[in-house]
Every structure is written in C-alpha cells, then in structure tokens.
Amino acid sequence: MIYLDYQATTPLAPEARDAMLSWLGGPETSGFANPHSPHRPGRAAAAAVEVAREQVAALLPPGGRVIFTGSATEALNLAILGSGARRLAVSAIEHAAVLDTARFVQPDAAVLPVGADGLVAQDAALPSGVDLVAVMQVNNEIGTIQPVAELAAAAHQAGALFLCDAVQGAGKLAPPLGADMIALSAHKLYGPKGIGALWVRDGLELAPLIHGGGQEGGLRSGTLSPALCAGFGAAAKRAMAHRDEDAAHVAELWHAARAILSDWTLNGSAHARWLGNLNLRRDGLDVARLMSDLRTVAFSAGSACASGSGRTSHVLAALGLSGGQAKSSIRLGFGVYSTLRDIEDACVSIRAAAAAQGV
C-alpha cells in the first residue's frame, strides 16, 4: 500500500512512539501516574507533560502559552467559543472545525472569499464591528499558504482578535505571526491522534468549554494523558530539528509527481503552497472509479471530509471550480516517510488508470 493521504493523518514518528511507551504505564512501572497527583510518580508524570509543553511551544511564536486539548477541533472550539466573540469573519476555505463553529455562534458569519489561486486577499474587506477573524495557515485540501501576518494585522486594525488554524503548517513552516490564538494537532505532524493544542497569546483571557478539575489553568478540565503529551512533544521536537530537510524532501517528491502528471491541472496557487499537497484535476475523470481501480494507493478525492459524503468540496467551489471540475479532482498528500519510488509508482499508476478511462 502506498499511503498518499498525509493531510488526513500522518504515521507516528518512531521518536514519538518511543517517547509514549514509557508513559503508557503497566502496573510494574510508575508511568501510569496521574500527572495532577502531588506524589512523586505524579510529579514525574507532570514533569514529562511540561517537557512536552515546551517542545510544542517551540513550534509557536514567543509570548504565549500552550493549552493541551483532545484535538485541534476542540482547540478551535475553545478559541472561538471561549473568546466570547459574537461577530465573526472566516475564510471560505476554513476546515469545518472553524466554519461550523463560527456558524454555530453566528449563523450569518462573514465569509472572506478566496481567489482562483486559493488565497484570501491581503486587503480583504472585514465587516465593521467584527470581533474575531479566522484564517488558516495552510489549507488541508489544496495546500495554499495564506498571508496570515497581513491578515492578522488587518484584523487588529479592525479591533478584532485573530485565530489561525495552523494544523497543516505546524512543524513544517515557521509559525504564523501576529495571531492571538493558534490551533495545532499532533497527528498531522507525526504525533499521536487524540491530542491537540491551543496557543493563546499572553494576556488574552478565554472562558473554558469543559468544567471540572481545573487542569490546564482552568481552561480545559480533565486528566491529561502523559503518553499523548510526550508523543506530541517528541514529534514537535523532531519537526523542529528536521524542518528544512523535511521541506526539501517533499519538494523533491512534488516535482517528481508534477512531472509525471504534467498535463493535469493544479488546483490552487503553484507558488504559495506547502509542497506535500498536490491537488490536481483532469476533466472527465471518474474519481470513484480511479479509487476502486487503484486499491493499493491510499489517496483522497478532494478532501477526506468531503469524500464519501457526496458533497462537492466547499474549498474547490470557493476557488470557482464547477461541480464537475471539483468531482474530477484528487489530492495526493505525502511527507517524511514517502519515498520517491512510492510517488513515481503511484503517479504512473494514476496516469495509466486515467488513460484507461479515456481521459
């Protein structure tokens, strides 16, 4: 099986798995202790959590604190609901975790359009009286990188807070600058599933969504998992140490894939993008048939969330693609553990299977 769905999730890095093992804790070890207990094993677990917090914080700008959550979805809910904002503006290509939460707060939340290149205009008009603007760093479906610093400055100018969903960029790119809140997810950067984080700028107060024991500074009650925290921390440390070589590796794979599928059309900007995401279309392509013909290549139709639902991707629609164009699009996502051979074999198979469809 060739795995080309790195935007949906990434494999667990061996470093992250090793870091987790000692905190999974059988009865013969003390690694099962509750990190909120005051006794010695508890304090050791708490120390491991704090090491992990520092490692995750190293991916983020200075001047803020990291709150561990169960996922990026939870972090984004905490940011939007906990900020108390009532009037919201979000980009048209946000993940459902932002779009649906914004619409829960304000059903007619303002939507900032994107151009055919998948980028929000730096001078996008913000509605007057807006309290919170949310624009992601890297889009999960098409990989475009937004001008976050400029958009954050515009939000502040308008008197609003700025939230950045950095799930697909964290550990891969320099952190988004100027944001008041940044959401991350461990499983998109070679860490475990079931843990995310919200970075909150110093001085910004939020209201908790989850009440109880007062963990995470009262913002997110519930016993933390030292194993998940340690895995997230080790993955963050790995990402920091290898950021440039990881980027060079995916760039090499991207160019190889582009060369093989050279007459396919790229969705979104060719320049402002994370090269581990290749979203392509081919007029007339039957993506469901392509997927069933290529059972040994794991890739996505449009996006993991949209595929299978029968809905057209809201991201591809926002770029101005017709329903037919969106439905003839595929997303190839690759990363650290993808090999050149994987990419070449998969792209040659995709090209041949499309040719067999006559497209």
Stretch that binds ligand PLP, among 66-74, 156-164, 214-222, 316-324 (CB under 6 A): 66-74
302 near 326, Cβ under 8 Å? Answer: yes
72 binding ligand PLP? (CB under 6 A):
yes
Task: Output the smallest distance, CB 71 to ligand PLP, in A.
Answer: 3
Task: Output the smallest distance, CB 196 to ligand PLP, in A.
Answer: 5
66 near 199, Cβ under 8 Å? Answer: yes
Beta carbon nearer to ligand PLP, 67 or 353: 67
Number of residues that bind ligand PLP (CB under 6 A): 12
Residue of 197, 201, 200, 199 lying closest to 233 (CA atoms): 197
285 near 328, Cβ under 8 Å? Answer: yes
Residue of 206, 170, 216, 195 lying closest to 7 (CA atoms): 170
165 near 136, Cβ under 8 Å? Answer: yes
Beta carbon nearer to ligand PLP, 6 or 254: 6
In sequence order, the 6+-apart residues with CB closer than 8 A to the CB of 322 are none
Beta carbon nearer to ligand PLP, 73 or 225: 73
Task: Output the smallest distance, CB 160 to ligand PLP, in A.
Answer: 20
Using CA atoms, how far apart are residues 267 and 126, in angstroms rounded to an integer? 26
CA angle 109, 137, 9 (to 5 degrees): 105
Task: Output the smallest distance, CB 73 to ligand PLP, in A.
Answer: 3
Residue 326 CB burial class (10 angstroms; 0-12, 13-18, ≥19)? buried
**DSSP code for 141:** T
Beta carbon nearer to ligand PLP, 165 or 246: 165
CA 33 to chain CA centroid, nearest Å: 31
SS3 for 291-327 is: HHHCCCEECECCCCCCCCCCCCCHHHHHCCCCHHHHH
Beta carbon nearer to ligand PLP, 9 or 30: 9
Beta carbon nearer to ligand PLP, 158 or 209: 209
Residue from 52, 80, 95, 338 binding ligand PLP (CB under 6 A): 95
Task: Output the smallest distance, CB 279 to ligand PLP, in A.
Answer: 13
CA angle 95, 100, 106 (to 5 degrees): 130
Q: Check 164, 229, 305, 347 and give the catalytic one.
A: 305
73 binding ligand PLP? (CB under 6 A):
yes
Stretch that binds ligand PLP, among 44-52, 67-75, 237-245, 275-283 (CB under 6 A): 67-75
Stretch that binds ligand PLP, among 65-73, 124-132, 197-205, 282-290 (CB under 6 A): 65-73
Beta carbon nearer to ligand PLP, 31 or 333: 333
229 annotated active-site: no
Site for ligand PLP in 101-160 (CB under 6 A): 136, 140
The interface mask with ligand PLP, positions 158-177, x = CB under 6 A, is -------x-xx---------
Using CA atoms, how far apart are residues 319 and 316, in angstroms rounded to an integer? 5
Site for ligand PLP in 193-212 (CB under 6 A): 196
Q: Where are the alpha helices (DSSP H) in the chain?
A: 14-21, 40-57, 72-82, 96-105, 148-157, 226-260, 287-293, 314-318, 323-327, 340-356
Task: Output the smallest distance, CB 69 to ligand PLP, in A.
Answer: 8
Task: Output the smallest distance, CB 197 to ligand PLP, in A.
Answer: 10
CA 217 to chain CA centroid, nearest Å: 25
Q: Which residues bind ligand PLP (CB under 6 A)?
A: 71-73, 95, 97, 136, 140, 165, 167-168, 185, 196
Which residues belong to the active site?
A: 305
